[in-house]
């Protein structure tokens, strides 16, 4: 019974890590796009802020789960 819980935790922790990588690349791409714009485009700025918020939410979740200590 405890092995299943351990297996599920590892599975979800791995999924969290992959989501963090995905959101980090999405955030980086949004920053690059925003830097290359000549004019002020509110949609691009909003997309960057959303990507940044997602990444930091996942970061706080990973910190709460103590993923960095493994």
List the one residue out of 25, 17, 21 whose CA is nearest residue 65: 17
Question: For position 69, what pLDDT does the model report?
Answer: 55
Question: For position 70, what pLDDT does the model report?
Answer: 52
Render 36-54 in DSSP notation, one character per residue: H-SS--HHHHHHHHHHHHH
Question: Each residue's pLDDT tens digit in the chain (70 positions)?
Answer: 567 778 888 899 999 999 999 999 999 999 999 999 888 889 999 999 999 999 999 999 999 988 875 5
Structure tokens at 36: 């290359």
Structure tokens at 12: 């979800």
Q: How far apart, in whole angstroms, are the C-alpha atoms of residue 40 and residue 67?
A: 38
Question: For position 24, what pLDDT does the model report?
Answer: 95
């Amino acid at each position: 019974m405890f092995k299943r819980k351990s297996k599920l935790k590892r599975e979800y922790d791995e999924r969290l890590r992959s989501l963090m990588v995905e959101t980090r690349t999405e955030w980086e791409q949004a920053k690059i796009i925003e830097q290359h714009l000549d004019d002020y485009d509110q949609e691009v700025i909003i997309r960057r802020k959303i990507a940044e918020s997602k990444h930091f939410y996942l970061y706080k979740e990973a910190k709460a789960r103590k993923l960095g200590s493994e």
